[in-house]
Homo-oligomer: A and B are copies of this chain.
Amino acid sequence: MERIWTDHLTVRHHECGPDAKLKLNSLFDYLQDAAAGHADHLGVGIQFLAEHRMLWVLSRVKLRIARMPAIGERICVTTYPSGPEKIFATRQYAVCDEKGELIIYGTSFWLLLDGAKFRPLKPLQHLGNALPANGDQIRYFSGLDKLEGNPAVSELREYTVSHSMIDVNRHLNNAYYAFFTNDALGMMSGAFRSVSEIQVNFNHSGALGDRIVCRGSLSSGCFYVDGRSPDGSVTFFQASGAVNDL
């Protein structure tokens, strides 16, 4: 069993925006694919958990992005579990370029849920020692908290979760929250923007037909974006961070 997982990838045309660099949602896809691949490898992937009526839910991610890789660039996406924090199982990410330089890194917080009651379970108790603790490895961020709402947000765009957005878990692919955030940054600044740091909190999964109203604010290079149901009763996600200068 590999306690540290590495995907070797080449950045493809369709994954890039007009600057020929990896798009934010494609980065989120890379990270989730690596996490899913590793969980499968460790025997605690989607299929195993479904059979045992449990599921992994991504709760929070925080990333620092020194630079996005470009079309054709060969990169390594490394990920490893890094022990519990509060009720979460944590997992680290590192993206290195061909020279071995660390260009993106971050931390994710996951919940292991009871598939019937949707209550959080303690991963160590229910998965035994399937998840290596990797105590000797770097932990990039800790204490990924709830994000404060921002009263200054403007309403930007409404999305409807469509068939093509639904993933193997039968929910909106989480990377769409990065997609919506990138759209919001574009709309608020009137330009294609890239981010240097971002935290996304995944508060509620999107189902087919759900309508998600995105709102945001951008001030002094810092942004806050969220997506809620039209009546405001459900917050699907919140994102905050910093954009690069143009």
Chain A positions near chain B (C-beta within 8 angstroms): 12-14, 16-18, 20, 23-25, 29, 32-33, 36-37, 40, 71-72, 157, 160, 162-164, 166-170, 173, 175, 179-180, 182-183, 185-187, 192
Contacts and interface: CB of A to CB of B under 8 A. Distances in A.
B170 A18 contact: yes
Given A23-B164, A168-B71, A186-B162, A33 B12 contact: yes
Contacts of A32: 13-14
Contacts of A36: 13
A246 B92 CA distance: 40
A169 B168 CA distance: 30
B29 A167 contact: no
Contacts of A14: 29, 32-33, 167, 173, 175
A108 to B, nearest CB: 15
Contact of A13 (B23, B167, B179): B167
Contacts of A170: 18
27 contacts: A12-B29, A13-B37, A13-B167, A13-B168, A14-B32, A14-B167, A14-B173, A14-B175, A16-B167, A17-B163, A17-B164, A17-B167, A17-B168, A18-B166, A18-B167, A18-B168, A23-B164, A24-B164, A157-B162, A162-B183, A162-B186, A163-B183, A163-B185, A163-B192, A164-B182, A164-B186, A166-B192
Given A14-B175, A17-B163, A164-B186, 16 more contacts: A12-B29, A12-B33, A13-B167, A14-B167, A16-B168, A17-B164, A18-B167, A18-B168, A18-B169, A18-B170, A20-B168, A157-B162, A163-B183, A163-B186, A163-B192, A164-B182
